[in-house]
Amino acid sequence: MERRKRRESISNSNLLFLISLVIFVAMYTVGFFRFPTSFRNLQTFVDFFNNNAPLIILTCGMSVVMIGGGIDISVGGVTGLVTMCCAVFLNGRAGSVAGSIFLALGIGLAFGALQGFLVSYLHIQPFIITLAGMFLANGLLTVIHKDPINAALPAFLKLREADIKIQWLGTVNRLGNFIPLRISYCMIIALVVVTVIAVLMKWSRFGRNLYATGGNSQSALMLGINVKRTKFFSYVLCGLLSGVAGYVFIMQTGAGNVGNASGFEMKAIASSIIGGTLLTGGVGNMIGSPIGALSLLVINEIIRSAGINSNYQAIISGLLLCVFIVLQSLVVWIRGKGSPTLPPWLQFKRDSR
């Protein structure tokens, strides 16, 4: 059979992913040349992962739900709740590392399953339900313990300290001492999560069904997909990842605190969107999500390095998000069903067969 060698028109998911990748690389390049002391340092790059693993994990969960056409704003609250519960548990008489891991995942799963059930099977607005979930999680967090509490279990402290030093990739600091590259367990967990979720969304039946559901749930139903179950599991997965993120959070900070991970749900949404996930569902790339999160962090880092008042970080992040949303809707609008009002130079080449 003769192979047609025409280039495929790129899918929206991949196009938006490319855009976010370009933005990320551009941002990093700016940092690289403008602030060489920090950005030229490999450790800085790795630290983006080391220090922001919870956000990256949450962004993955958020993207999954958003691809399915939903939203979950309880993730920040659940993450915070998990840190506090784990801290209390680890300091308790029965405290153990394995137990705390189960506790973290259990809390995440419970929230995900409950919210998923309400959203998918009882058809309640996901925004409202997860808002309620967020309040619930925040409330529980303060009820369990009001003050910051340090997890002091020795086994846990050992886990916290554990990291991997790569001797052949280190950097030489200003004093001329060689410091090996440090990779924390948090980063590894984050990378594993990203990989697993990316594979799941690309190659599993669940992932493809979720894309279909988010794209057009009515069609998905007619195509024989169990839409309710698919949506349900997207929330369960997101909840589970909130649990993971919570545990990673406490591995970093070592403490349960009322303010832990507050506002992370919004950061996760922002990162997902910058990473190329559409709020309308059905479009998104799972590699884009962590890149979206990193873009946000790199911008903040640049602003910090430039010595600008940290208040501007929020403003600039906000503006960036704005630009992204406009860019995305523009792209989708342009590539949507033929828009004759657009000048030809703005129109993407469409398949005209």
Region from 49-57, 218-226, 263-271, 300-308 binding other proteins, contact rule CB under 8 A:
218-226
Shortest distance, CB of residue 31 to other proteins, whole angstroms? 34
Is 158 or 350 the residue whose CB approaches other proteins more closely?
350
Among 211, 235, 247, 249, which residue interacts with other proteins (rule: CB under 8 A)?
211
Is 15 or 299 the residue whose CB approaches other proteins more closely?
15
Gap between the Cα atoms of 175 and 92, Å rounded: 44
Q: Hey, what are 220's tokens?
A: 């998905």
Neighbours of 158 (CB within 10 A): 10
Residue 219 touches other proteins, criterion: CB under 8 A:
yes
Site map (CB under 8 A) of other proteins, residues 303-342, x = contact:
--------------------------------xx------
Scan for tokens 């998911």, then name that residue. 13
* Angle separating helix axes 42-67 and 75-91, nearest 10 degrees: 120
The answer to whether the beta carbons of residues 236 and 116 sit under 8 Å apart is yes
Among 214, 243, 246, 275, which residue interacts with other proteins (rule: CB under 8 A)?
214
What are the CA-CA distances from residue 29 to residues 22, 26, 32, 34 (Å)? Answer: 10, 5, 5, 8
Gap between the Cα atoms of 81 and 257, Å rounded: 9
The answer to whether the beta carbons of residues 291 and 24 sit under 8 Å apart is yes
Shortest distance, CB of residue 117 to other proteins, whole angstroms? 22
Q: Hey, what are 5's tokens?
A: 């060698």
Shortest distance, CB of residue 286 to other proteins, whole angstroms? 15
Residue 215 touches other proteins, criterion: CB under 8 A:
yes
Shortest distance, CB of residue 300 to other proteins, whole angstroms? 32
Residues numbered 220-259 forming contacts with other proteins, rule: CB under 8 A: 220, 222-225
Neighbours of 76 (CB within 10 A): 28
Is 246 or 282 the residue whose CB approaches other proteins more closely?
282
Residues numbered 146-205 forming contacts with other proteins, rule: CB under 8 A: 203-205
Residues numbered 276-295 forming contacts with other proteins, rule: CB under 8 A: 282-283
The answer to whether the beta carbons of residues 78 and 246 sit under 8 Å apart is yes
Region from 54-62, 90-98, 173-181, 216-224 binding other proteins, contact rule CB under 8 A:
216-224
Is 176 or 224 the residue whose CB approaches other proteins more closely?
224
Q: Hey, what are 237's tokens?
A: 């997965």
Shortest distance, CB of residue 12 to other proteins, whole angstroms? 7
Residues numbered 1-40 forming contacts with other proteins, rule: CB under 8 A: 1, 4, 6, 8-9, 11-13
Gap between the Cα atoms of 269 and 59, Å rounded: 7
Gap between the Cα atoms of 295 and 17, Å rounded: 12
Shortest distance, CB of residue 338 to other proteins, whole angstroms? 10
- Annotate 265-296 with DSSP letters as a single string: HHHHHHHHHHTT--TTSS---TTHHHHHHHHH
**Rounded to 5 degrees, what angle do the CA atoms 65, 67, 70 make?**
45
Is 9 or 29 the residue whose CB approaches other proteins more closely?
9
Among 167, 177, 218, 309, which residue interacts with other proteins (rule: CB under 8 A)?
218
Shortest distance, CB of residue 327 to other proteins, whole angstroms? 18
Gap between the Cα atoms of 98 and 35, Å rounded: 42
Give contact residues for other proteins (rule: CB under 8 A): 1, 4, 6, 8-9, 11-13, 203-209, 211-212, 214-216, 218-220, 222-225, 282-283, 335-336, 350-351, 353
